[in-house]
Amino acid sequence: MVSFSGAGLSAESGVPTFRDAQTGGLWAKHDPMRLASPQGFAEDPQLVSEWYAHRRRAIAEAQPNGAHIALARHPEMIHVTQNVDDLLHRAGAKQVIQLHGTIAADRCHASCGYEEAVDMTDPPGLRHCPDCGDQLRPAVVWFGEALPSSAWTDAEQACRDCDVLLVIGTSAVVYPAAGLIGLAKSAGAKIVIVNTQASDASSLADVELLGNASEVVPALLEEPARPR
């Protein structure tokens, strides 16, 4: 079994999902789709930097929920995630593939190769690359940018090889990541979806379980009680 997760996995830890992020709060008037793009960064780097600082602090305060913990209890599982948070790692998961990078590091916007971990509790503001002088930016994948090639290759392999793809908390609208569900299905895997509502992947589901990830995933993965 391989898991393929999105923002819904971390929602109950208090990390807002991408497509619900506009409901209320300080950042309600800003479109996350715009902020998470090279165009948004070019237009207003200070705004994008402040948005990431806000999210980094929120993630630093968040704790893994029951779904992260249940997934991490299966060391044989590969976890392909679109999430940039570190909650699967903090739950103890070892095999995590982050398709959209990590919010826990900054990298050089000019792709000179410079990358450094950031303090999530006290995130830095705008800074320049010590190697080439370009701007540093979060080590995440923005719209229009290529996914890290080794993460993508490993994720494709995992999805081709699995018997069951457990799809958790994703709207399945962002590509190429969402295409992994169809890839797994074409390769013969059963598709099990956990989401609070129907998603763009619903038509591919062999089993669709509607509910909160923190309740459904532990119930699904827990060891059956042994007869005495």
CA-closest candidate to residue 78, choices 193, 189, 1, 183: 1
In the Cβ-directed half-sphere of 123, how many Cα atoms lie within 13 Å? 24
Is residue 121 exposed (0-12), middle (13-18) or buried (19+ Cβ within 10 Å)?
A: exposed
Distance (Å, whole) CA 93 – CA 88 = 6
Positive or negative: CA dihedral 176, 148, 143, 53: positive
Among 27, 54, 89, 114, interactor with Zn ion by CB under 5 A? 114
129 binds Zn ion (CB under 5 A): yes
3 binds ligand BJW (CB under 6 A): no
H/E element, 159 = helix 149-161
> Is 100 known to be catalytic?
yes
Among 35, 48, 97, 108, interactor with Zn ion by CB under 5 A? 108
* Residue whose CB is less far from ligand BJW, 152 or 225: 152
CA-closest candidate to residue 99, choices 84, 87, 85: 84
**How many of the chain's residues bind Zn ion (CB under 5 A)?**
8
131 binds Zn ion (CB under 5 A): yes
> CB under 6 A: which stretch of 2-10, 41-49, 105-113, 155-163 binds ligand BJW?
2-10
DSSP-derived secondary structure letter, 148: P
* Residue whose CB is less far from ligand BJW, 3 or 170: 170
CA-closest candidate to residue 194, choices 1, 9, 2: 9
Give the nearest distance from C-beta 226 to ligand BJW in angstroms.
29
Catalytic residue among 74, 100, 109, 128: 100
Contact of residue 8 among Zn ion, ligand BJW, none (CB under 5-8 Å per partner type): ligand BJW
* Residue whose CB is less far from ligand BJW, 132 or 210: 210
Distance (Å, whole) CA 138 – CA 126 = 10
Q: Can you give the binding site for Zn ion, defined by CB under 5 A?
A: 108, 110, 112, 114, 129, 131-132, 134
Q: Can you give the binding site for ligand BJW, defined by CB under 6 A?
A: 6-8, 11-12, 17-20, 36, 82, 84, 100, 140-146, 169-171, 173-176, 194-197, 199, 212-213
Catalytic residues: 100
